[in-house]
Copies of this chain bind each other. A is one copy, B any other.
Amino acid sequence: MSVLNFNVNGVSKSATKLESKARSFNITIDEPEDLGGKDEGPNPVEYILAGYAGCLNVVLNLVAKEKGIQINSLKLDVNGDLNPSKLLGGNEDRAGFRGINVNIEIDSPASKEELEVLLFEAKGRCPVNDTIANPTPIQYAIKQQVFVN
């Protein structure tokens, strides 16, 4: 399979709300009221955690299938601590997640060792895990619209 390009584009509806699209899907992002928004959708970092959980679901199932490991049920809890100091203009801590915790609850007849191998391989092949665990190059371009009235 060749290299894939994924794209999301959005329009700012307020200082906290973005209406975005990924292909045919609408994704609304907002902040809760205590972070200055109107709580009209999950907030940006919650989408990061959701994407992470969703990716692990895909890769755990994919690797389990390859290894003949049966999964009867799978639950994922992904959470992270974030110090908002830098976001708000301060200087404590880093701006992003201090760390992320992934808790996996699996019902499977596989041995503990088989599950550890499954998890190790899934982590290494998970696009979101790699994007977050390791540095990812980012390029910015800014285009200023000029309106003449």
Contacts and interface: CB of A to CB of B under 8 A. Distances in A.
A136 B25 CA distance: 28
A95 B122 CA distance: 11
A6 to B, nearest CB: 5
A142 B127 contact: no
A4 B81 contact: yes
Contact of A82 (B3, B15, B41, B119): B3
Chain A contact residues, majority secondary structure: mixed
A45 to B, nearest CB: 5
Contacts of A104: 140-143
A72 B14 CA distance: 11
A11 to B, nearest CB: 5
Nearest to A54: B29
Pick the 3 closest A-B CB pairs, nearest first. Answer: A29-B54, A96-B130, A47-B51
7 contacts: A3-B83, A27-B47, A29-B51, A48-B51, A96-B129, A97-B127, A103-B141
